């Protein structure tokens, strides 16, 4: 009873996913959480009639920021299941009459790869909220499941700073800055990039106590995050002439091959669009001539088969020749964090493994 709590005091420490290395504890104030929830209610247009669904863990920002907190503020309901299941999600939403479900990363492609059902479009879900829905699958997903994709962007450190305008979304775009956030695309010297040019997302809030104050017991990492008083996300993207932002790749996960910059996200989208592929992960591995070669780790759908050469031929008309993988490893699964994000750093650190098929050693010549 003698403890006084201020809105600006730290409410929780949420750890990053650790997809590129060791997780860091992100300090979150009470007011920061409230701002996250309040903005989510606004950009998703939640009301007391909504039922929000999630299969993501509570220690992940998505479940707390898009489902649980907003449900409390909107006086709505929340349905929380133990884990995400592609085969169960739509039936769950029908059972509990859910009007919204959230997603991350590869969830949209995985749902699309489920066997079509006659009742796919017969569901109560008006909105799917999340990040990284592939642009080429956006319209197909909305049509098949009779729902709307609402793409957002952010990290635990700046959650959420971009959201698609509800009535004017653009396929592949993570939207525009929401209330109180400034977002820019900059080069390596923090100079702002002109529209269409690739650069790093940086952002800052113009409201007090919104955004993280730093990383728990990591002052050096906090200083690196807050360069020039802007949060440096480590994400690459671009902005178009109309102010819509587009995510391209993690800066640490972009691949440099023989003078060309390659988006692992783009290569993954192409490989994963093959009918036999359930999901994929693309990383750079050391090249004998310097820089990197492209390595793809692929998981196939149950009962499906495809050869490495067939995957190469699938990529040829869809990717620049220099972005087509040299190495392909077909495996049963990808290493993931508890929040269902692929641990890319593990696949990168393992390098070229014995199960890697080598396109050049197989004598496959690419068409240019």
CB-based burial label for 64 (10 Å; 0-12, 13-18, 19+): buried
CB-based burial label for 355 (10 Å; 0-12, 13-18, 19+): exposed
This prediction's pTM: 0.82
Could you tell me whether strands 127-130 and 149-153 are parallel, antiparallel, or unpaired per DSSP bridges? parallel
53 three-state secondary structure: strand
For the cut 80, the answer to whether the pLDDT of residue 204 exceeds it is yes
Query: What span, in angstroms and rounded, lies between the C-alpha atoms of 253 and 152?
Result: 20
Residue entry with tokens 């990808």: 334
Q: In what order do the strands lie in the sheet with 181-186?
A: 181-186, 199-205, 231-239, 245-250
Structure tokens at 233: 């996300």
Question: What's the angle, vertex CA 256, arms to CA 110 and CA 258, rounded to 5?
Answer: 125
Q: Which CATH number fits domain 10-250: 1.10.132.10, 3.40.605.10, 3.40.50.12780, 3.30.460.10?
A: 3.40.50.12780
pLDDT in tens, 158-195: 999 999 999 999 999 999 999 889 999 999 999 999 99
The pair phi, psi for residue 245, each rounded to 5°, is -100, 150
- The structural domains of the chain, with segments of one domain joined by +, span 10-250, 254-358
Query: What span, in angstroms and rounded, lies between the C-alpha atoms of 222 and 214?
Result: 5
pLDDT in tens, 213-253: 999 999 999 999 999 999 999 999 999 999 999 998 888 78
pLDDT in tens, 245-266: 999 888 878 888 887 888 898 8
Residue entry with tokens 């952002």: 203
66 three-state secondary structure: helix
The helix or strand, by DSSP H or E, that contains position 277, with its residue range, turns out to be strand 277-286
Query: What span, in angstroms and rounded, lies between the C-alpha atoms of 326 and 296?
Result: 8
The pair phi, psi for residue 285, each rounded to 5°, is -125, 155
The helix or strand, by DSSP H or E, that contains position 61, with its residue range, turns out to be helix 61-62
CATH superfamily, domain 254-358, is ANL, C-terminal domain (3.30.300.30)
pLDDT in tens, 279-288: 999 999 988 8
Structure tokens at 183: 């977002």
């Amino acid at each position: 009873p003698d403890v006084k709590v201020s809105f600006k005091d730290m409410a929780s420490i949420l750890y990053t996913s650790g997809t590129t290395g060791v997780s860091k504890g992100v300090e979150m104030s009470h007011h920061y959480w409230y701002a996250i929830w309040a903005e989510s209610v606004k950009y998703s247009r939640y009301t007391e009639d909504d039922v929000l669904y999630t299969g993501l863990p509570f220690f992940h920002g998505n479940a707390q920021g898009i489902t649980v907190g907003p449900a409390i503020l909107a006086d709505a309901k929340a349905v929380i299941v133990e884990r995400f299941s592609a085969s169960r999600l739509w039936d769950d939403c029908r059972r509990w009459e859910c009007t919204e479900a959230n997603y991350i990363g590869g969830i949209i492609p995985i749902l699309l790869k489920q066997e079509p059902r006659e009742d796919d479009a017969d569901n109560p879900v008006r909105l799917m909220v999340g990040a990284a829905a592939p642009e080429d699958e956006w319209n197909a997903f909305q049509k098949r499941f009779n729902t709307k994709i609402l793409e957002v962007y952010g990290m635990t450190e700046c959650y959420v700073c971009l959201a698609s305008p509800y009535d004017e979304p653009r396929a592949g775009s993570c939207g525009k800055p929401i209330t109180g956030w400034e977002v820019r695309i900059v080069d390596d010297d923090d100079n702002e990039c002109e529209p269409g040019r690739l650069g790093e997302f940086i952002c800052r809030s113009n409201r007090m106590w919104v955004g993280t104050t730093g990383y728990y017991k990591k002052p050096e990492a906090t200083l690196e995050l807050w360069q020039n008083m802007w949060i440096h996300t480590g994400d690459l993207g671009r902005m178009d002439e109309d102010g819509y932002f587009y995510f391209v790749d993690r800066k640490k996960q972009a691949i440099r091959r023989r003078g060309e910059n390659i988006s692992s996200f783009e290569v993954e989208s192409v490989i994963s669009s093959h009918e036999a592929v359930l999901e994929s992960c693309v990383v750079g591995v050391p090249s004998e001539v310097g820089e990197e070669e492209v390595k793809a780790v692929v998981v196939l759908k149950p009962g499906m088969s495809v050869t490495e050469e067939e995957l190469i031929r699938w990529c040829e008309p869809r990717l620049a020749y220099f972005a087509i993988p040299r190495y392909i490893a077909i495996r049963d699964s990808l290493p993931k964090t508890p929040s269902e994000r692929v641990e890319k750093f593990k696949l990168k650190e393992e390098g070229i493994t014995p199960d890697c098929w080598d396109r050049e050693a197989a004598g496959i010549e690419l068409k240019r």
